[in-house]
Structure 1
Amino acid sequence: MATSISFVGLSCFLLYLCLVCSLKEGYAFEELRESHAESFLTHTFEVSSLFASSICNHSTKANERESTFRVVDKYGPCFQPSLHRSVVSPSVTDIIRSDRARINSIQARLSKNSGRRDLIAEPNYHRIPVIDGSAFDTLSYLVTVGLGTPKKDLSLILDTGSRLTWTQCESCTLCYTQKEPKFDPDNSKSYVSISRTDPVCAYVKRPADPLRPTTLCSYEISYGDGTSSVGFFSKETLTMSAAEKIDSFLFGCGKENRGKFNLEAGILGLNQEDASIVLQTAQKYNKIFSYCLPSSASSTGHLTFGQTPAPANIKYTKLVPQKSPFYGLDLIGIGLGGTKLNILESIFTTPGTIIDSGAVYTYLPPVAYTTFRDAFRVAMSAYPRIPGPTAAIETCYDFSKSTSVTVPEISFFFKDGTVVGIPGKSSLIAYSPTQSCLGFQEYKVGDKRSIIGNKVQRTMEVVYDVPGQRVGFAPNGCN
């Protein structure tokens, strides 16, 4: 059932808009009071900040700890000038199609159970900077890791939904175009093949037609968009920095690979299955990791493994155990400007919710989406609303005549009482200088979960504490 923000709350918002219109960028925070009409939380920012600049803005947080190295967008301003290339950003249709394929793949696996290991040890940490891969078909985020001895740097997609880390290997019989050289196991002193009788071979799905030699452990992994990799499950040295190496790291050495990759070398699997880097490094990093996704392609973020000092103002909510390797949350409501919208909790709890690093948009149940969308439109009535680039993207604005914009804060309400505020800027996706749209959609009939996508997670430190069964959110995680 659709609803809207109260008249008093909206009046407060419009009055506040007048007071902050001269500000360049900042947050307006008030305590969430019992009377929601007494506050309307907003975020004011420069319109130009919605777009990537020509200057690289490095994450300051990535430099605060040892064993840190920087990754850059290979086609953005943070990349080495000698290797710089231009690339055409994906169309909106491509983004939606890729998102839909990913969600179909996730939904198909949600009811499947997976084995887990519970290895807990003394915590440690290591941080890897992350960049926005918005030049890629899936708008994914990338990290660079070193593989082999001597190490070969590889750009991999950070994926909380994937069970396996894999990369293309020389000499693959079926290869997609890759901009950086492929990994060659023959040039590594630490590469080890795995026998098909080795117990760890059970961590991966075997192809119906195993690769030759059949005495080795071959694997097959496929994704909803038709992307797939078939190769040999192997062991290698994974280098995070000069001080941080993981010996006998299990990964897929891809020999037959299909997909719309054009820059990245493969996937870094971060889900809760045995072959993921989270489970493999459990004794060293205690199954704790965090990331901060940058605000644009001209900024960097980071990926951290292991226990670190808790970020300021972090809020934890329960990680919901479920029969799937994905990270489930107990979402019971959504709010706008600090006000929880009038939506039955069962609308959210019946399907459940997962948080995902790969999906671009945030997907809500139809009733929740319609209520939220209508309230957002009311709060943004000061700005001209325009048609979207597709029928699926229906709430869009032209900010080209404004220097700065004020957008209501979005809140996620969880069953344990945690309320996480998302800066209004993170709710928008800019498709062109004259077209910025709400980054939320309703999920389709048959979908089994709501999904908190990566665009609303931008600039926040998202901490996954698997042994503590919780996920934390902290503002200003990248800088």
Structure 2
Amino acid sequence: MAATFNLSSLIWFALTLVFTFAETNNNGGRFTADLVHRDSPLSPFYDPLESHFDRLHNAFRRSISRMNYLKTIFSPSSSGPAKLLQAPLVPTGGEYLMNISIGTPPVVLIGIADTGSDLTWIQCKPCKECYKQKPPLFDPKKSSTYKILTCESRYCSALDDGKRCESHMNLCGYSYSYGDNSFTEGSLAVENLAMGDSTSGSPVTLPNIVFGCGHDNGGTFDENGSGIIGLGGGSLSLISQLSSSIKGKFTYCLAPISSSATSKIKFGAPSFNGSSPGLISTPLIDKAPATYYYVTLEAISVGNKKLPYTNSLKTDYDFVEVEEGNMIVDSGTTLTFIESQFYDKLATVLEKEIGSQRVSDPKGVFGACFRVKSKNEDHLPVITVHFSGNADLKLQPLNAFIRVEEDLVCFTMVPSDSIAIFGNLAQMNFLVGFDLEGKTVSFMPNDCSKQ
């Protein structure tokens, strides 16, 4: 049974807004918005009949589904650009929601915020085919600020083979497909997009944001959401479009799953500087596709035992050097995925460090689980992730282990035969700051439930 949800609660939930952004904003283009985990009681996806463990396992399944799709993007046998015609996102894979309104007058919507996607899109009237959604559909004919882009616009050109132009009208269309045969097609347009500033209490409007107005959409999309908010690194993403105002910087702080607090995303200068205690920074690596945020994983330590990381996408596993950009930082993936052969070595060291024999995960998701009598995880070892640039990130037990049954704790890193992913469990209770101009991503310990 789905959680009950109506328009009045949606309007309260979304903090509707009318304000002017960027140059006229007293914060100089900085603002902070809420990120609501899809399993939070504040989320329209929340089902009160599910147990805590049910929600966890659903998140793990979404994580596996997302990784399976990413394999089609990063597989060595992939044919390159042809694969990039598909949107780099599993439709139900995003874990965080953002509250927005769009148009003039504004229509209140909820979108999945995703660092693994570029194009922001929503469902629009008239619908050739639309999946059922609870929020109202956006009707561009009723907005005074809606405008379809021409085929010659630079944003239309950025669609590459996803571009669909009607030559007789010279209007830009788009077509995206997903790994599970879901799809969205429609017009590439500009519109005012707005969201609440949870720090100042003043809502902000982002004028002339490029987005997809989807008139033909179908597949596995959930009826509680209205589309996708693209926070990736590509030229069509919201981050790239705001780059001149936010100086290519955004920061988020993900509250632990056990917390009832909302997480935060800040656009503009981060809440830390080079002298902040515990701050570590690692280079962002330029790779294709540009959607993703690539870093270089050099090693992982269990306690004091350090294991150099190598990537079996190369043939000579025991002798290859670490590949630059071998991991992506992704808020939309719950678990952390690492190379399979390396994982086996890491799990063996972990078993010795904990002093308890591994047991099988009844759900078949995790490769290293342990029966524990203690109700806390204080006895579990600190896991240190060593990124390039001498960036050693110490993960606390809440980042690296999760209780999936009353007496069963599992390691939140799992094996993969594709690119590694640094998932959101590993990022919780850190300020995670991206600087796309300086080409770094930084991590600083923080209590994200108290922001």
The alignment's TM-score, normalised by the length of structure 1, stands at: 0.72
Q: Is the Cα contact below 8 Å between 2:100 and 2:111 reproduced in 1? A: yes
Q: Is the Cα contact below 8 Å between 2:94 and 2:114 reproduced in 1? A: no
Alpha-carbon distance between aligned partners in 2 of 1:77 and 1:366, rounded to the nearest angstrom: 35
Alignment CA distance shift 1:256-1:436 (3 Å):
farther
1:370 to 2:344 alignment: yes
- Hey, which bits of structure 1, 4+ residues long, moved more than 6 A? none
Deviations 1:22-63 (A, max 9, x none): xxxxxxxxxxxxxxxxxxxxxxxxxxxxxxxxxxxxxxxxxx
Deviations 1:258-295 (A, max 9, x none): 23222222111122221111111111011111112221
Deviations 1:425-447 (A, max 9, x none): 11234444454422212222xx3
Alpha-carbon distance between aligned partners in 2 of 1:369 and 1:266, rounded to the nearest angstrom: 35
Give the one of 269, 289, 302 matched to 2:264. Answer: 302
Q: Is the Cα contact below 8 Å between 1:141 and 1:293 reproduced in 2? A: no
- The Cα shift of 1:471 comes to 0.6
Give the structure 2 partner of residue 145 of structure 1: 100
Given residue 347 of structure 2, which amino acid in structure 1 is its aligned partner? R
Q: Is the Cα contact below 8 Å between 1:92 and 1:390 reproduced in 2? A: no
Given residue 308 of structure 1, which amino acid in structure 2 is its aligned partner? P
Deviates more, 1:101-110 or 1:172-181: 101-110
- The Cα shift of 1:466 comes to 0.8
Alignment CA distance shift 1:154-1:170 (3 Å):
same
Gaps of at least 5 residues in structure 2 are 1-26, 83-90, 197-201, 311-318
Give the one of 148, 152, 157 matched to 1:193. Answer: 148
Q: Is the Cα contact below 8 Å between 1:139 and 1:360 reproduced in 2? A: no
Gaps of at least 5 residues in structure 1 are 1-64, 114-135
Give the structure 1 partner of residue 423 of structure 2: 453
Q: 3-state DSSP class of the match of 1:370? A: helix
Alignment CA distance shift 1:257-1:380 (3 Å):
farther
Once superposed, what is the RMSD of the aligned Cα atoms? 3.3
Give the structure 1 partner of residue 173 of structure 2: 218
Q: 3-state DSSP class of the match of 2:377? A: strand
Bigger RCO of structures 1 and 2 (CA < 8 A, at least 6 apart): 1
Give the structure 1 partner of residue 315 of structure 2: none
Give the structure 2 partner of residue 29 of structure 1: none
Q: Is the Cα contact below 8 Å between 1:75 and 1:86 reproduced in 2? A: no
Deviations 1:296-316 (A, max 9, x none): 173311111111331642211
Given residue 475 of structure 1, which amino acid in structure 2 is its aligned partner? P
Alpha-carbon distance between aligned partners in 1 of 2:376 and 2:267, rounded to the nearest angstrom: 37
Given residue 78 of structure 1, which amino acid in structure 2 is its aligned partner? L
Give the structure 2 partner of residue 466 of structure 1: 436
- After TM superposition, the structure 1 = structure 2 runs for residues 76-475 of structure 1, keeping only pairs within 5 Å, are 76-78=40-42, 86=48, 89=55, 91=58, 94-95=61-62, 97-107=64-74, 137-138=92-93, 140-205=95-160, 215-241=170-196, 242-262=202-222, 263-296=224-257, 298-310=260-272, 312=276, 313-325=278-290, 326-341=292-307, 346=320, 348-349=322-323, 352-382=326-356, 385-399=358-372, 401-406=373-378, 407-444=380-417, 447=418, 449-475=419-445
Q: Is the Cα contact below 8 Å between 1:103 and 1:359 reproduced in 2? A: no
Given residue 395 of structure 2, which amino acid in structure 1 is its aligned partner? I
Q: What percent of counterpart residues are identical?
A: 26
Q: 3-state DSSP class of the match of 2:171? A: coil
Alpha-carbon distance between aligned partners in 1 of 2:280 and 2:269, rounded to the nearest angstrom: 16
Q: 3-state DSSP class of the match of 1:349? A: coil
Alignment CA distance shift 1:270-1:86 (3 Å):
same
Q: Is the Cα contact below 8 Å between 1:102 and 1:359 reproduced in 2? A: no
Alpha-carbon distance between aligned partners in 1 of 2:333 and 2:122, rounded to the nearest angstrom: 21
Alpha-carbon distance between aligned partners in 1 of 2:43 and 2:332, rounded to the nearest angstrom: 22
Deviations 1:189-235 (A, max 9, x none): 21112222334311224558767985421101223233321111010
The alignment's TM-score, normalised by the length of structure 2, stands at: 0.76
Q: 3-state DSSP class of the match of 1:175? A: coil
Alpha-carbon distance between aligned partners in 1 of 2:70 and 2:425, rounded to the nearest angstrom: 15
